[in-house]
Amino acid sequence: MDFYQRVTMVCQAIPSGKVATYGQIALLCGCPRNSRQVGYGLNKKMTEDVPAHRVVNHQGYLSGAQSFETYDLQRRLLEAEGVEVSSDQRVDLKKFGWHNTMEDAYAFRALFEDLI
DNA sequence: ATACTGACTAATC
DNA sequence: TGATTAGCCAGTA
């Protein structure tokens, strides 16, 4: 299975109202060092049927790059799901982060390992 | 093949 | 702690 296909799958598994980091997704895809490629993929490859707005960097900051149609589109989509975004374009990963523990991450990975 | 880029992160100070 | 630095690696030219 192609790396970007796995990225797509993992992103689609992010529940509404939660956010994940690039590094997390890379890890769940079996390529812990490909966080940059996750960003590349979301920007250039898919974007269809993929909730890319639920992906932020490891500090909780929304993407600074202007890949969304308008500057605040990502923010509006998140807030529409109940995710609080501070004025400096940041979300609280403690509150809204998907898989806050390694145990959760491993559980997810075990669930999908046959697809990886 | 080489160089540069970037929706990133972990290490270091 | 917070701010730099250094490493990362698929794509692109």
Per-residue pLDDT of chain A (116 residues; tens, 9 = 90+): 899 999 999 999 999 999 999 999 999 898 999 999 999 999 987 667 899 999 999 999 998 888 888 889 999 999 999 999 999 999 999 999 997 665 566 667 666 666 55
The candidate with the shortest Cα–Cα distance to A5, out of A60, A61, A49, A68, is: A49
Which pLDDT does position A107 carry in this prediction? 67
What pLDDT does residue A19 have? Answer: 95
Q: What is the pLDDT of residue A105?
A: 65
Compute the distance between CA of residue A8 and CA of residue A25 in angstroms, rounded to an integer: 10
- Cβ < 7 Å from nucleic strand C: A 3-4, 33-34, 36-37, 40, 44
Residues A39, A5: Cα–Cα separation, whole Å:
13
Backbone dihedral region for residue A36 (phi beyond 0: left; psi -120 to 50: alpha; all else: beta): alpha
Q: Residues A88, A14: contact at Cβ < 8 Å?
A: no
pLDDT computed for residue A71 by the predictor: 86
- Find residue A56's DSSP bridge partners: A21
Residues 4-23 (A) near nucleic chain B, CB < 7 A: 21-23
Backbone angles phi, psi at A31, to 5 degrees: -130, 80
Could you check: is the Cβ of residue A110 within 7 Å of any atom of nucleic acid strand B?
Answer: no
